[in-house]
A and B are shown apart, each in its own frame.
Chain A
Amino acid sequence: ETGVTQTPRHLVMGMTNKKSLKCEQHLGHNAMYWYKQSAKKPLELMFVYNFKEQTENNSVPSRFSPECPNSSHLFLHLHTLQPEDSALYLCASSQEAGVNYGYTFGSGTRLTVV
């Protein structure tokens, strides 16, 4: 049982839809991340939040909009996506933002844009 829960597990959406991905952790971590995993490509960091403040936006298109209302919850709002945005979207958390901590990942949301 992972300490990071992502919902939904699967999502199919049209290019004109608006949807949101949810991530929740109760590990007491202060940093949360969104990653994108596409087939045959390395994981791509999208956004970093540390103590609820966004500290990194890795040149992500504005059709992806993150929200972090508190240290336990992270959302990724999606609108007017393209078929190439189809991928596995992973949420992770760590004690603090940085590379001296292990990251705990959720199981991901498999997104298909049609």
Chain B
Amino acid sequence: DAKTTQPNSMESNEEEPVHLPCNHSTISGTDYIHWYRQLPSQGPEYVIHGLTSNVNNRMASLAIAEDRKSSTLILHRATLRDAAVYYCILGVDAGNNRKLIWGLGTSLAVNP
């Protein structure tokens, strides 16, 4: 299965931008890149996803490398509520095999 590699943990300061990296060197041409986050005692929350082009929404931006072997989730201005585990996930789309391949994520701490 295609997999992603993320740092175990990162730290940021409130009101500063955060860049969360992800490597996915075995990505296939039809695989999507998804990001979710999970706060304690809650289910994962969708953040953003994309295929080839950079994507922006109200929560974050997704920057995808030209060769698609890595991507970066950008939180433009971190708040204390952004402290969570962030998962970079490949959405595998291969015929009848279509599913999200989860890793262990990056635990983000935000300092006041």
A residues engaging B (CB < 8 A)? 2, 4, 6, 40-43, 45, 48, 56, 90, 92, 97-100, 102-108
Contacts and interface: CB of A to CB of B under 8 A. Distances in A.
B68 interface: no
B99 A45 contact: yes
> Which one of A97, A99, A105 has the highest number of Cβ atoms from chain B below 10 Å of its Cβ?
A99
B98 A103 contact: no
> Which one of A2, A43, A45 has the highest number of Cβ atoms from chain B below 10 Å of its Cβ?
A43
Given A98-B93, A99-B34, A99-B93, A104 B46 contact: yes
**Closest 5 interchain pairs by CB?**
A99-B91, A105-B43, A102-B46, A42-B102, A43-B102
Contacts of A48: 99
Interface residues of B, number: 22
Contacts of A99: 31-32, 34, 91-93, 98-100
A92 B91 CA distance: 15
B44 to A, nearest CB: 5
B49 to A, nearest CB: 6
Given A42-B102, A105-B36, A105-B45, 17 more contacts: A2-B43, A40-B104, A42-B101, A42-B103, A43-B44, A43-B102, A48-B99, A56-B99, A97-B98, A98-B93, A100-B51, A103-B36, A103-B46, A104-B46, A105-B44, A107-B43, A108-B42
Contacts of B100: 43, 45, 99, 103
B87 to A, nearest CB: 8
A106 B49 CA distance: 19
A6 to B, nearest CB: 8
Nearest to A55: B96
B46 to A, nearest CB: 4
Contacts of B93: 98-100
A102 B32 CA distance: 11
Contacts of A106: 43
A99 B32 CA distance: 7
Contacts of B51: 100
